[in-house]
Structure 1
Amino acid sequence: ATSGIAALLLAGLIALLSPWIEESERLPLYIGCLTLPAFVVANTQDGIARSHDWMTLGLMPQFIIRQGLIIGFTAGALVLGFQLGASAAMAASAAAVWIAMLGQMLVLNRRLERHVEVGPKQYDLRGWLAVSLPILLVESFYLLLSYTDVLVLQQFRSSEEVGVYFAVVKTLALVSFIHYAMSATTAHRFAEYHALGDKARLSAYVAHAIQWTFWPSLAATLVLLALGKPLLWLFGAQFTAGYDIMFIAAIGLVVRAAIGPVERLLNMLGQQRACASAYAAAFVMNLVLCIVLVPRFGGHGAAAATSLSLVFETVLLFRIVKRRLGLHVLAFGKAS
């Protein structure tokens, strides 16, 4: 219901701003509004499934089935001779999101019927808001941190330079999938061991998650840096000019991977406000550094600003976990 209301409000905003929006952009935006409720429900179902340790049911519809449907729909449109554009791409995405979500809903409800006993419904709206709003801030600041460099770069540099930079950082961002995968598969375990009061097991599992985040991330980063030029060349020969930016951007990603999915650890253990504060501080730092560095150094300045902000965020999160939870969250070294 909330996402449906949000979609309607966004559609109204698009209609209100239509005189300033290109006609070719309006329909894709409206289709995006139609997609939003299904996308939100799918994310909710993903969380419910993972909380029951049903990883395949939680992750496959979003990351395998949905993507496969998008590829299939767009490929089918090409074969049938349709002109692919923003509207066709958004329509394919919308159809894929809705189909994957509905299929996941059917399977999830059947499993829940067998797994959860029927009982009276209870609601704790105040408690839910107290937990979820700080997490909403965490996710919001994370998204802002992810796109600040590109948005600021657009204000000061040509579209060609922005395109090169975007291709560079998004190629390198493949490393982030390792972090996401570990976050998605470990968060419910953090909550479980904490609820059981088993700090020794929690500490060991956190260390395990960090190791499996950092070392594969480091290896993937080295591979991408080694193959950076050929990968960028796939976008076009002119994109190889941004190869050296990859090395600057890689610093922040590797440093951040050194503490693993600690933001999920903080959220699961009731420290979501402290986590949100750390993300907010990193976002403000990134914005200020981008404004200072981008006009003079362009894409190199944007990459440096983001890497410095990620290093700052890593230090903040490390100190918060150490002070509030008493856990050592670093891929190397031992807890003192």
Structure 2
Amino acid sequence: MPEKLSLRLNPWLSRLDQMLDGSNEHAVAQRVSLIAFLVRVVSAGIALVSQVIFARWMGPFEYGIFVLVWVTVVILGNLSCLGFQTTVIRFVPEYLERKQYDHLRGILFTSKAFAVSVTTCIALVGALVIYALRDRIEIYYVAPFLVGLICLPMIALGDTLDGTARSRSWVLVALTPTYIIRPVLTLGVMSVAHLAGLAPTAMTAICSAIAATYLTSLFQLYIVCERFKAVVPQGPRAIYFKDWFVVSLPIFLVEGFFFLLTNADVLMVGRYMEPDKVATYYATVKLLALVHFVYFSVKAGAAQRYAELMQNFDHTQLERFARDTARWTFWPSLAMAIVLLILGKPLLWLFGAQFTEGYPLLFIMVIGVVARASVGPAESLLNMAGKQKICAVVYAVTLVVNICLSIVMIPLYGLAGAACATAASMVFEALVLALTVYNRLDITMFVFAGRIGTKSAKEEI
């Protein structure tokens, strides 16, 4: 390699080497984020292929029914954990550091048992409500929703196991089942059903997803339990449910509002428009996931490190790491957004010619996604810093803004109105989160904050 080129590349290669082989916490967080990012890249490819096949087999109407039912079931399953899937990330490192193994065994058992029991009750109540209101619900939604509720306990268990594995930075164990194994199994079961001659309806797709979810969650349960046996010695459990629930409830509100916020647009489109329009909008949103998963990847690697830095009371290092995570989120998101806008139309055409109607929506919604990426996983920082309540308020207000804008704009402008409502609420969310982090933690969590600070320092000198 020429000497000049070697000198230019040396700093970048050194950083790459530190990230891949470094043993300090910063390098570990970067490595976890990178692995999570790669998992999400593979997941996005699998999801794109599977959803294209589903849309081609089922047609827009049946595919739209499947989309609305599955999104609703996933939302309910996630919310039913009541925040315990994130609470374990906060407490497991603490209990391990202090060697409080009885507490650790208690929270590991409680988080899983609580998730499964609560979601089972919610599924039963939900089935009764749907049956009682069956005359007020479009007939083509009733049976799919009733069957879809069977999946709730395993979705909640999977989310809890995800958080449990992330608490130990076992990122592959955390993400691979949900984002790779489950969609592959769903496509596999659906393919077998298709080859067997079953009609490619929404009901067939939902049953395929249920079978895949049960197999995946039970497999992940086995893996996580086996790995913790090597970390935690056998012994009694100390269960402090009240203390954990006090922490979980605000986290539940934060993540619940956030999860609703990221899926409310699909539900609102389903409320005002026919299933074929839901299908078009959902296909567009799935493409946007190619950009948005950068944020989730960084969050997966950063949450545990945030908690550790808060335990060490190192504000300077916490601020530096927070700004780093904002940069890790923004620049890959921006690059992927540009690529998506270039390739968006042919990618939507893969779903079917009618799905290209969603291409103009990408230009609107990308604005919100990039704005959100500019502040990194700010809500995760607030959660790990014990600021769950104010974070919950932020997301509650943002959700209200999103719903109000959707109610006004979807009837007037259709899918474009839904896209504008989503983009505007994401810009609002990013602004309020950045201001909240600054006011509560005295940290400027913005992608350009470090550069601005460096420039000011040079001018003073």
3-state DSSP class of the match of 1:234? helix
Q: What's the CA shift string for 1:164-196, capped at 9, x where partnerless?
A: 444333322321111112212221111122112
Give the aligned residue type for 1:171.
L
Q: Return 42-51 or 126-135, whichever deviates more.
A: 126-135
1:69 aligns with 2:185: yes
Structure-2 residue corresponding to 1:291: 407
Structure-2 residue corresponding to 1:83: 199
Q: What's the CA shift string for 1:129-159, capped at 9, x where partnerless?
A: 2221222222332233234444445566666
Structure-2 residue corresponding to 1:95: 211
Work out whether residues 365 and 422 of structure 2, in 8 Å CA contact, stay in contact via their aligned partners in 1.
yes
Counterparts of 1:143-222 in structure 2, within 5 Å, are 143-153=259-269, 163-222=279-338
Q: Which of 118, 142, 145 lines up with 1:2 in the alignment? A: 118
* Aligned CA distance change for structure 1 residues 264 and 10 (closer, same or farther; 3 Å): same
CA–CA separation in structure 2 for the residues paired with 1:143 and 1:247: 23
Give the aligned residue type for 1:226.
I
Work out whether residues 25 and 86 of structure 1, in 8 Å CA contact, stay in contact via their aligned partners in 2.
no
Q: Return 249-258 or 296-305, whichever deviates more.
A: 296-305
Counterparts of 1:1-336 in structure 2, within 5 Å, are 1-21=117-137, 25-153=141-269, 163-334=279-450
Aligned-pair RMSD on alpha carbons?
2.3
CA–CA separation in structure 2 for the residues paired with 1:106 and 1:74: 25
Runs of at least 5 residues in structure 1 that lack an aligned partner in the other structure: none
* Aligned CA distance change for structure 1 residues 291 and 9 (closer, same or farther; 3 Å): closer
Q: Return 192-201 or 65-74, whichever deviates more.
A: 192-201
3-state DSSP class of the match of 1:178? helix
Work out whether residues 269 and 410 of structure 2, in 8 Å CA contact, stay in contact via their aligned partners in 1.
yes
Work out whether residues 323 and 449 of structure 2, in 8 Å CA contact, stay in contact via their aligned partners in 1.
no
Give the aligned residue type for 1:228.
G
Work out whether residues 130 and 142 of structure 2, in 8 Å CA contact, stay in contact via their aligned partners in 1.
yes
Give the aligned residue type for 1:33.
L
Q: What's the CA shift string for 1:14-67, capped at 9, x where partnerless?
A: 332334456654443233222111111111111111101111111111111111
Deviation at 1:265, TM superposition (A): 1.2
Of structures 1 and 2, the one with the larger relative CO (CA 8 A, separation 6+) is: 2
Give the aligned residue type for 1:294.
I
* Aligned CA distance change for structure 1 residues 157 and 78 (closer, same or farther; 3 Å): closer
* Aligned CA distance change for structure 1 residues 161 and 212 (closer, same or farther; 3 Å): same
Runs of at least 5 residues in structure 2 that lack an aligned partner in the other structure: 1-116, 454-461
Q: Return 47-56 or 11-20, whichever deviates more.
A: 11-20
Q: What's the CA shift string for 1:223-244, capped at 9, x where partnerless?
A: 1101122122223333334422
* Aligned CA distance change for structure 1 residues 278 and 100 (closer, same or farther; 3 Å): same
CA–CA separation in structure 2 for the residues paired with 1:158 and 1:99: 32
Q: What's the CA shift string for 1:1-21, capped at 9, x where partnerless?
A: 111111221122233233445
3-state DSSP class of the match of 1:329? coil
Q: What's the CA shift string for 1:45-90, capped at 9, x where partnerless?
A: 1111110111111111111111121111111222222223222212
CA–CA separation in structure 2 for the residues paired with 1:36 and 1:162: 22
3-state DSSP class of the match of 1:118? coil
3-state DSSP class of the match of 1:7? helix
CA–CA separation in structure 2 for the residues paired with 1:166 and 1:278: 26
CA–CA separation in structure 2 for the residues paired with 1:92 and 1:295: 34
Percent identity of equivalent pairs: 41
Q: What's the CA shift string for 1:192-232, capped at 9, x where partnerless?
A: 22112233332232222221111111111101101122122
* Aligned CA distance change for structure 1 residues 117 and 162 (closer, same or farther; 3 Å): closer
* Aligned CA distance change for structure 1 residues 232 and 9 (closer, same or farther; 3 Å): same
CA–CA separation in structure 2 for the residues paired with 1:71 and 1:157: 27
Scaled by the length of structure 2, the TM-score of the pair is: 0.68
Scaled by the length of structure 1, the TM-score of the pair is: 0.91
Work out whether residues 31 and 91 of structure 1, in 8 Å CA contact, stay in contact via their aligned partners in 2.
yes
* Aligned CA distance change for structure 1 residues 154 and 9 (closer, same or farther; 3 Å): closer
Give the aligned residue type for 2:398.
A
Give the aligned residue type for 1:202.
L
Q: What's the CA shift string for 1:108-143, capped at 9, x where partnerless?
A: 112212201334322222222222122222233223
Deviation at 1:266, TM superposition (A): 1.0
CA–CA separation in structure 1 for the residues paired with 2:143 and 2:409: 37
